[in-house]
Structure formats: structure tokens, C-alpha cells
Amino acid sequence: MLPRFQPSPRCSLSLILSLVFCYLTLMAGGLAKASADQKQQRPNILFIFTDDHASHAMSCYGSKVNQTPNLDRIAREGMLFNNCFCTNSICGPSRAVILTGKHSHLNGFKQNGNKFDGSQQTFPKILRKNGYQTAIVGKWHLATQPTGFDYSEILVGQGPYYNPPMIRNGERVKHVGYTTDIITDLALDYLKNSRDPNKPFMLMFQHKAPHRNWQPGPKYLHMYDDVTIPEPDNLFDNYEGRGTAAKQQDMTIAKTMTAFDLKLTPPRNLTPEQLAVWNAAYEPKNEAFRKANLKGKDLVRWKYQRYMKDYLRCVASVDDNVGRMLDYLEKTGLAKNTIVIYSSDQGFYLGDHGWFDKRFMYEESYRMPFLVRWPGIIKPGSVNDDLVSNLDFAETFLDLAGAPIPDDMQGVSLVPLFKGNAGKWRDSLYYHYYEFYNNRRSAHMVRRHNGVRTKRYKLIDFYNLGEWELYDLEKDPREMKNVYADPEYAQVVTDLKAELKRLQTQYKVPDDTGSVEKDPPSLYLKPRNSGAAQKKKKPARKN
């Protein structure tokens, strides 16, 4: 019989320590792998953003003028927000608010023509620090180069609808084709070939369309040719019951649209092949228009039809390309862990009040479309009526990624709304528009104003005019009658003025009163689209 081995106490201790060390090593490796897996499971974020897409040109929002089946798909499989609003209804400022989570007066981009300070804190920078890949493709429109992105390929300024020059990671490149298609091609190429599949991504996929001057792609040049687009009931609004600002603007379909807007003059940057296709579509229609020699309301109606058909043709291309992206996510399995968000920088007037463009705090341009699909979290077909804003987007993206939200951001995360357990939510929103000058014309000549909106009421202060407007949105959703001076609303006015003041204090808004004269020289300069800015004869003032 062999003798039994009797380990020494010292040997037993060494063996035990070795076993413990091996166990801890295995545990640490397992925890590290679990942590890595957890990081990889953080959701991808796809932010699809357009320019000037009014929610009332989306069938999921009840459009009476078009169908948007791919956008409807996001709403059907996710959540539709009925009350999403911008803080400043104009392209660049809206984008700056989204990047920073701060109002225009704090992020430094109050109006188009400003330059975005790329050194400041933005949500893409914070996402990068927390392990996300960040990319932006398409429209940027902030005058400086993007910062905080691993990859960027952006339009130069507004960018054209055809054959866009772009800036890829700081280097200028040229593309040939239709811009909406090209931007989608680039976004898909990034997802297929440029990203690290072991890291979550945040892709800002941003279209120029349907921004002015609404040039349709080759596929849709004949769409709606045999259709009459329904007119809004206030296409011939005379602005009675509104204030000075509504009368002084320069954004009417009747007077402001140019030959380029109306496609009476073709685009200047088309290839010979593109121009031939364009002229074949538009010249027969234009010849019929010239022969008709329309006047008065008939001319306005023709302009409305031309504008709306071109706008909706551009929207149709956007919808198609959103469908291409959604199909790719499904095909590759990325859809399961990718949050898809669709929005636009503000709304737009589709003949409402006789207008196009945006800027005013009135509903059509103030309201933003906002759709969110988050598989496994958001209940399909959900509808939310809470007051939300583009001020909330940065905080939401950070919360979705599990990244810290800086205390100096001014919005709130919408993730609790996605999950259906928000609890008490905000009761009001603040708005401020700045782009109006003393001695030079601004685009569309909309007076500076701020305001507050609740679920039912909207109070607007045209502070350099000394005029207030109040709308009861329950009784007057089209905002046709200012009831500020109606005694029935005296208490509402008092309450809303107090709320406006509270919000201005909360958001640290400087007083802009007196920044522009009540009756400035800029009002008497010719519009830029009528030739060189020359002084018009100043009308005699009434006593």
C-alpha cells in the first residue's frame, strides 16, 4: 500500500490561495465580458432629420394632401408625439438647440448667419466620451465645421437639390445625382462599411428636403400632375384680428415667390441630361400657364398648386429614402437594437394664412413632427400629447445611451415618456425668435417675438412693437382671432404673463426689448428677390 500524501500546512495554504486566485480571475473575466456585452447592448440611435417638413404633410398626422407610408411605419411601430414644438422656428437655430440642449441665447446661434461655436459642449461629444461612435451625414447649416463626430459628410451651406458639393471630414468632394438619394447612399455606406460593429452608433441622417425651393427628383417630376391639392380654408387670409407683424411679413404665396420657386426658370446646376428631363416635365405646364394669363385669385391658386405639388414631391422622395433605411435595418438585424427617431427642424406653412416659410410662433411653423420607434420598450401605435420640445432632444439622446446629462442643459429627457411612466410633466413651453433688423431686410421680415404655450393657450409678445396676441387654441385652432383684449380672457393673460416671466427667469433670457425700432428703416427697403435693396418711398404716417 502506498503511503497517503499529507500536505504540509504551508503547501495547503499555497494551494488554497492558487485556487482563490484562479476563481477571482475567472470572475473578473466574466464580469468584464458581461460589462462589454452590456456596452454592446446599449441601443444604436438613428436620428432622421429633415428641413421644413410640416407635420400636416404626413399621413400619420392626418394629412389631407399626401401619403407618407414609410414615416407612418415608424409611427405605427412606435410613438407619435402630437405636441412637439421648436424653441426658435428657423433652420440653424433649431439645429444648435438640438446639439446643445440650450436655448439660442445661450448656445450663441440666434439666427441664420450666425456661426456655431464648435468648441462648446454638445451631446455628440458626450456620447463619444461614453463609448459611442458618432456620425453626421447631410445638412448641417451651422457655418462652421462639425465637431464631436467620428465621421461627417455635410452639405455646403443649404446645399442644392441636385449634384451637391459636400465636405467629407474636412475635405471637399463632389457628387452627381439627386441630393436626397445621395445623402441616403452615404448614410447606408457608413452603416455598412465605416462603423465599428462592436460599438453602438449615433447617426444623424439629415436631409435638405423639403426646403425651399422644392426641386423634385427625376422619379417624381410628374407626381400630382392630374391632381388638385386641397386649399387651406385661410389661403386668402386678410389678417384681420391679428397684429402688425402678420401684416408686415414677406412670405406670401401671392407676392413673395420667385420664378425659381415656381419653376418658371429651371435650376442652374443641372447636367445636360438632367436639364432635358426637367424641361420635358415643366415646359409644357409653364407654356399652358403663360397662355392662361391668370390674374388675381386665379393666379394665387395656380401658384399654390405649383408650390404644393413640388413640396410634396420632395416629401415623397424623403419618405422613399426613409423606407430604404428602415429596410436595411430590418434586413441586417440592426432594427432590434436601434432607436429610430424622425423629426424636422420646425414646421412650415402650406398655404395656411396665404404663406409659405416658418419663423412665427403660430401653430403650423411652431409645431414639429416627432416619431420614435424603440423595439421592446415603446408600445407600437402609442400616441403622446405631452408638451415636448427640440430643447429635450440632447438630454434624451444621452439618457438613451446611459451617458450623464450635464446640469446646464435646459431640456429634460423624454425617455420616461417613451416608457409610459413620466408622472407629472411640464405645463408650458417658451419660444423666442430673433431674426429681424433695423437697417437691412431679413428673410421674410418676421418681427422679433417671444411667447409661452400651454395645452390650451398661446401668448405672444411682439416686444419691439408693444403688441401682444393671445389665442384660445381650443376654440380657435387656426389662430384667426387675437383675444388678448377680450375681458373674458383677462385672468388668462395675467397668468400667462406671469408664466412667461417665470420661464425667462428659469432659462436666463436677456431682455431684447428695444433691439429694433418699432418702425425701422428696413421696412422700406425692397425685398432682395425684386432686385437690389433700394429704398422705397416711406408712406405717410397716420396721426
Q: What pLDDT, in 10s, does the model give residues 60-108?
A: 999 999 999 999 999 999 999 999 999 999 999 999 999 999 999 999 9
Is 310 in contact with 263 (CB distance < 8 Å)?
yes
User: What is the per-residue pLDDT for 528?
Assistant: 67
C-alpha 273 chain-centroid distance = 33
Quote the CA–CA distance of 2 and 524 in Å, as a whole number.
Answer: 115
In this prediction, residue 396 has a pLDDT band, given cuts at 50, 70 and 90, of very high
309 residue type, one letter: K
Q: Which helix (H) or strand (E) is 319 found in, with range?
A: helix 296-332
pLDDT above 60: residue 38: no
For 452, the 3-state DSSP assignment is: strand
User: What is the per-residue pLDDT for 422?
Assistant: 79
Quote the CA–CA distance of 413 and 431 in Å, as a whole number.
Answer: 19
Mean pLDDT of 321-342: 98
38 residue type, one letter: Q
Mean pLDDT of 495-519: 98
Kindly give the pairing relationship between strand 133-138 and strand 457-462: unpaired
In this prediction, residue 423 has a pLDDT band, given cuts at 50, 70 and 90, of confident
Grid cell in block for residue 276:
432635358
112 residue type, one letter: N
Quote the CA–CA distance of 58 and 80 in Å, as a whole number.
Answer: 12
Quote the CA–CA distance of 377 and 294 in Å, as a whole number.
Answer: 55
**Of 151-155, 325-329, 533-537, which gets the smallest average pLDDT?**
533-537
Among 288, 158, 156, residue whose Cα is nearest residue 213: 158
Q: What pLDDT, in 10s, does the model give residues 511-531?
A: 999 999 999 999 999 886 543
* Helix ranges restricted to H, 357-414: 363-366, 393-401
In what order do the strands lie in the sheet containing 467-472? 429-433, 449-453, 457-462, 467-472
Q: Which residues contact 302 (CB under 8 A, 6 or more apart)?
A: 289, 292, 294
Quote the CA–CA distance of 81 and 511 in Å, as a whole number.
Answer: 32
Grid cell in block for residue 466:
408693444
* Helix ranges restricted to H, 402-440: 415-418
pLDDT above 60: residue 2: no
Q: Which residues contact 487 (CB under 8 A, 6 or more apart)?
A: none
Specify which residues 433 forms β-bridges with.
449
Instruction: Tell me whether residue 361 is exposed, middle or buried, using C-beta atoms within 10 angstroms of its C-beta: 0 to 12, 13 to 18, 19 or more.
Output: buried
Instruction: Tell me whether residue 478 is exposed, middle or buried, using C-beta atoms within 10 angstroms of its C-beta: 0 to 12, 13 to 18, 19 or more.
Output: middle
Euclidean distance between the first and final Cα of the chain, in Å? 128
Mean pLDDT of 486-502: 98
User: What is the per-residue pLDDT for 30?
Assistant: 47
Q: Dihedral through CA 479, CA 484, CA 488, CA 490, nearest 10?
A: 140
In this prediction, residue 18 has a pLDDT band, given cuts at 50, 70 and 90, of low
What does DSSP assign to residue 52? Answer: S
Grid cell in block for residue 238:
386678410
Is 152 in contact with 146 (CB distance < 8 Å)?
yes
* Phi, psi dihedrals of residue 258, rounded to the nearest 5°: -100, 175
**Domains (range + CATH), the chain:** 44-524 (3.40.720.10)
Chain length of the chain: 543
Q: Dihedral through CA 210, CA 216, CA 219, CA 224, nearest 10?
A: 90
For 49, the 3-state DSSP assignment is: strand
* Phi, psi dihedrals of residue 250, rounded to the nearest 5°: -130, 70
Mean pLDDT of 28-55: 73
Grid cell in block for residue 85:
414644438
pLDDT above 90: residue 539: no
75 residue type, one letter: A
Grid cell in block for residue 257:
415667390
User: What is the per-residue pLDDT for 88?
Assistant: 98
pLDDT above 60: residue 6: no
Specify which residues 138 forms β-bridges with.
154, 206
Among 165, 137, 172, residue whose Cα is nearest residue 151: 137
pLDDT above 50: residue 216: yes
Grid cell in block for residue 318:
424623403
For 477, the 3-state DSSP assignment is: coil
pLDDT > 70: what percent of the chain? Answer: 90
Q: What pLDDT, in 10s, does the model give residues 171-203?
A: 999 999 999 999 999 999 999 999 999 999 999
Mean pLDDT of 10-30: 47
